[in-house]
Structure 1
Amino acid sequence: MKTLSNSNRLLILIAALTIIPAYFTPLWQISLWAPQYPEGLNMKIWIDHLSGNVDTINGVNHYIGMKHIGEDMFPEFIYLKYIIGVLFVLGLVAAWIGKRWSLYGFLTLMTLFGLAVLVDMYLWGYDYGHNLDPKAAIKVPDMTYQPPLIGYKELLNFLAYSGPDIGSWILMGGVALLFVAIIRDRRKNKNQVVA
């Protein structure tokens, strides 16, 4: 079992610490702009709640038959804080163990978590944008209102944006540190083999 250098163990520790801001910063954001809302409407998704112009967005979306956005439609708010807590503890354990397999294992878990979040966001957006109330005041045949997973999309007279917010950018920085640790470890082992 290859033991990691102290500097790589420190990188794992810092990567684990980047998980903590997820409890105190928004993780995702969805924004809308239209002629009647030039300043934009914004909804931020945190680890356990929503913030921003949620009521105004609900008022606008009601006319096209979209579901009411509420915290009760996100069961993730109940268990996400525990999953992130487990990831944090596993990161600390990986740094303490200091073996190559613990680095790769922690990176794999963080990557799988990120992919699971993206899949979950896509499925929520699909359901939200496709399952419309047939009695809605405004109906456009064959029109769906699924917000973009990442990036911009035009929906009627609205420009919608969806993407990571502060907490997710910090988490991605932590994952980047794990990649740096892997690259450094491989270079170190390559140099040892050459020597």
Structure 2
Amino acid sequence: MKKASIIMMVGPLFLLGLYIFPLWNIMLGAPQYPDPLGLNIHINGLKGVNEFDIQNIDGLNHYIGMHTLPKVEDMWEFGTFPTIIGIMVAIGVVIGILGYFNKVGYKWFWGWFVLMSILGLLGMYDFNEWLMDYGTNLDPNAIMKLTHPDGTPMTYKPPLLGHVKMLNFDVTSLPSTGAWLMFVGMMLTLTAGFWGWKNAKEQ
């Protein structure tokens, strides 16, 4: 159980990488931009991959009626997510310590994994809802009003995951370093639960 508990203590610490590295990345490539425009999504705000990427993205969006990219104060998530991650890291480490001293069993390790998975899925759902609003809630007075062949207004929702063609832009949305560190940490906690279960079974 001690080996499992040590793994449980280490796993949640990988989530601290979310305070340093971006969670998600969206890249926009087009012939007129030899260097693609990029957006890094952190748990506490948005940053351009390059210095002027956010300004350039907002400039492009203005023509087709999309809102400017939100600042920290515009989205409650940027203030709440860092707190949630900090609490989950602390809970995970405490569970690992209690497991080391045989105060809790391996089921607590799996319980942390399940709770973190639920929070992660809720975060993905919230992110997708933001993308939907961002790409479909357009300014009716936009300079360019583009429509599909059937006459319906064109929307510009970036993909939650993967690649899509929007006008002459190739838009790719993928997990970034922070997301992969979180994945590694969660897999470690799952492993800790497995080792704890195996140890309990042997005893």
TM-score by length of 1: 0.90
Look up the match of 2:141.
135
> 1:23: Cα distance to partner?
1.1
Distance 2:170 2:145 in 1: 18
- Deviation of residue 117 (structure 1)? 1.4
Q: Percent identity?
A: 36
Of residues 173, 184, 202 in structure 2, which corresponds to 1:173?
184
- Which of these residues, 180, 186, 194, is aligned with residue 183 of structure 1? 194
**Residues paired across the two proteins, number:** 188
Corresponding residue number in structure 2 for 1:101: 107
Q: CA RMSD in A?
A: 1.5
Q: Work out which of the residue numbers 145, 157, 160 in structure 2 matches 1:149.
A: 160
Q: Is the 8 A contact 2:9 2:96 kept in 1?
A: yes
After superposition, residues 41-56 of structure 1 pair within 5 angstroms as: 41-52=37-48, 53-56=53-56
Name the CA distance, whole Å, in 2 between partners of 1:167 and 1:112.
Answer: 18
Contact residue 27 and residue 171 of structure 2 kept, 8 A: yes
- Where 2:64 maps in the other structure, the secondary structure is coil
Match of 2:102 in 1: none
SS of residue paired to 1:29? strand
Equivalent position SS for 2:164: strand
- Give the C-alpha shift of residue 189 in structure 1: 4.4
Q: Deviations over 1:75-116 (max 9, x none)?
A: 211121111110111111110221222101210121012111
Structure-to-structure mapping, 1:1-195, within 5 angstroms = 5-52=1-48, 53-71=53-71, 72-98=73-99, 99-141=105-147, 142=152, 143-190=154-201, 192=202
Amino acid at match of 1:83: I
Specify the SS of the correspondent of 1:18. Answer: helix
Asked if the contact 2:106–2:197 (Cα under 8 Å) also holds between the matched residues in 1, the reply is no
Matched residue SS, 2:44: coil
Distance 2:74 2:166 in 1: 22
Unpaired stretches in structure 2, ≥5 consecutive residues: 100-104
Q: CA deviation at 1:167?
A: 1.0
Where in structure 1 are there 5+ consecutive unaligned residues? none
Q: For residues 94-150 of structure 1, what are the alpha-carbon distances to aligned partners after superposition, in whole Å with 9 as ceiling and x for unaligned?
A: 102212221012101210121111101100000001101111122222321110001
CA distance in 1, matches of 2:63, 2:35: 21
- For residues 182 and 91 of structure 1, the distance between their equivalents in structure 2, rounded to whole angstroms, comes to 12
Aligned equivalents of 1:156, 1:77: Cα separation in 2 = 30
Instruction: In structure 2, give the amino acid aligned to 1:21.
Output: G
| 8 Å contact from structure 2 (residues 22, 176) kept in 1 | yes
Structure 1 runs of 4+ with >4 Å offset:
none
Q: TM-score, normalised by structure 2?
A: 0.87
